Amino acid sequence: MELFNVLTVAQARSTLASHLPARTQAETVPLLQGLNRILARDITALEDVPGFDRSTMDGYAVRARDTFGATESLPAYVDVTGEVMMGQEAVGKLGSGQAWLIPTGGMLPPGADAVVMVEYTEELDTNTIGITKPVAPGDNMVRRGEDVAAGSVVLTAGRRLRPQDLGLLSAVGVTEVPVMLPVKVGILSTGNELVEPDQPAAPGKVRDINSYTLYGQVLEAGGIPKLYGIIQDNFDALQAAMRQALAENDMVLVSGGSSVGARDVTARVIAALGQPGVLFHGIAIKPGKPSIGAVVDGKAVFGLPGHPVSAMVVFNLLARPIIQSAGLPVQQTSFPLRAAITRNVHSATGRDDFLRVTLRRLEDGSIVADPVLGKSGLISTMVKADGVAHLPLTKEGVEAGELVDVWLF
């Protein structure tokens, strides 16, 4: 494939998706181990939640019509003929002109269709109360099945399980959940100039950054990362390492060696690994233009730039969605924040720019984004930034005060 016959981000994603087979590997785990995992199939409720009409207030279960017209000066009087005990079935029936004392969460007795808050009652004697504020049917109660109806789909396949989802599943009696197996990701760094973090950085040498940022990004996305260390700029050495990584993982990330330099061998190695091979070499973005996207034997392979900022940005754009979805269409759970940029920023049309920014809240409550200036090789700029502002390919930059989408780290 011709180098730098660039695709847009949308085109790159679409091209990758068209060559990646649907993943079907799933496992069943205990409910408490399902947090942040991707649900593999729909979950249907087998029973109503709640399973009975339930009070949401301390007060009295009544027939709403017995309270109509009640005021402080002319209360509606009813006889207290029963009491609901917490956690027990309400046995008996509430008749006209009657009320039962009921706690929050208690079961409404048959015949009751509302609850009067205790604050709007006054005791006339030990068996009679006056109601000083009327209620309508359904007030201060939750009807049977109002939260979840039996037979309804409560969660759909592709959903990343959140704490509230675990609560809902426990409410319908689900103790185990079918979830997609997490994506295993092999991570390699290339470059004769790289050394491990525990080694001295002699003149001409730099410590490996990308293995560690990518490891963290994979974990954060819900994948299982595995480091394969630093590989020299040598075709045979890189090919052997990538073959091993491909055999042991569902995705491979290799950083460095994606530009057009004569010594950069990543594209040639990927092309020789299997079919269909390299799908694109170049994306219409900044930073990260010289990125490689490939599929080898049904597994995604990315050649990421050696510059740390570029590698992180491209990972978020292309690799993260695949890892987060575990191969299923997923519901979007993160959205950009809108902030006003604080300075003019130039951008070329036909290219998506991703600008590192810090965020501030002004006294009037508005949020502004301050650009973090620095080259894409400077990891400290990512540490200082709160996120990246997206300058879309249809614009020639933005002016100070203009709203931009900011994707938070």
pLDDT tens digit sequence for 259-309: 655 457 888 999 999 999 999 999 999 999 999 999 999 999 999 999 999
Q: Tell whether 4 is covered by a domain.
A: no
Instruction: Identify whether residues 377 and 292 lie together within a single domain.
Output: no
Instruction: Identify whether residues 188 and 301 lie together within a single domain.
Output: yes
Instruction: Identify whether residues 164 and 290 lie together within a single domain.
Output: no
Q: Which pLDDT does position 355 carry in this prediction? A: 96
Domain limits for position 377: 337-408
- Cβ pair 210, 189 in contact under 8 A: yes
Q: Which pLDDT does position 262 carry in this prediction? A: 45
Q: What is the mean pLDDT of the chain?
A: 94
For residue 29, give the nearest of 177, 201, 219 by alpha carbon. 177
> In total, how many domains does the chain have?
4
Q: Tell whether 332 is covered by a domain.
A: no
Q: Which pLDDT does position 50 carry in this prediction? A: 96
Distances (CA, A) of 274 to 90, 100, 149, 248: 69, 74, 50, 15
Instruction: Identify whether residues 342 and 271 lie together within a single domain.
Output: no
pLDDT tens digit sequence for 171-216: 999 999 999 999 999 999 998 899 999 999 899 999 999 999 999 9
pLDDT category, 1, cuts 50, 70, 90?
very low
Instruction: Identify whether residues 309 and 220 lie together within a single domain.
Output: yes
Instruction: Identify whether residues 190 and 257 lie together within a single domain.
Output: yes
- CATH number for the domain harbouring residue 387: 2.40.340.10
Instruction: Identify whether residues 37 and 131 lie together within a single domain.
Output: no
Model pTM? 0.87
Q: Which pLDDT does position 330 carry in this prediction? A: 65
Lowest mean pLDDT among 45-49, 263-267, 389-393, 394-398: 263-267
pLDDT tens digit sequence for 21-45: 988 899 999 999 999 999 999 999 9
Lowest mean pLDDT among 53-62, 100-109, 196-205: 196-205
With tokens 């930034």, the residue in question is 385
Tell me the average pLDDT across 369-387.
Answer: 94
Q: Which pLDDT does position 2 carry in this prediction? A: 46
On the question of pLDDT at 5 being above 80, the answer is no
pLDDT category, 242, cuts 50, 70, 90?
very high
- CATH number for the domain harbouring residue 91: 2.170.190.11
For residue 77, give the nearest of 102, 63, 98 by alpha carbon. 98
pLDDT category, 331, cuts 50, 70, 90?
low
CA atoms within 13 A on the CB side of 75: 16
Instruction: Identify whether residues 40 and 125 lie together within a single domain.
Output: no
Rounded Cα distance, 356 and 349, in Å: 19
Q: Which pLDDT does position 376 carry in this prediction? A: 85
Question: 296, 325, 354: which is the final residue of a domain?
Answer: 325
On the question of pLDDT at 246 being above 70, the answer is yes
Helix (H) and strand (E) counts in the chain: 8, 26
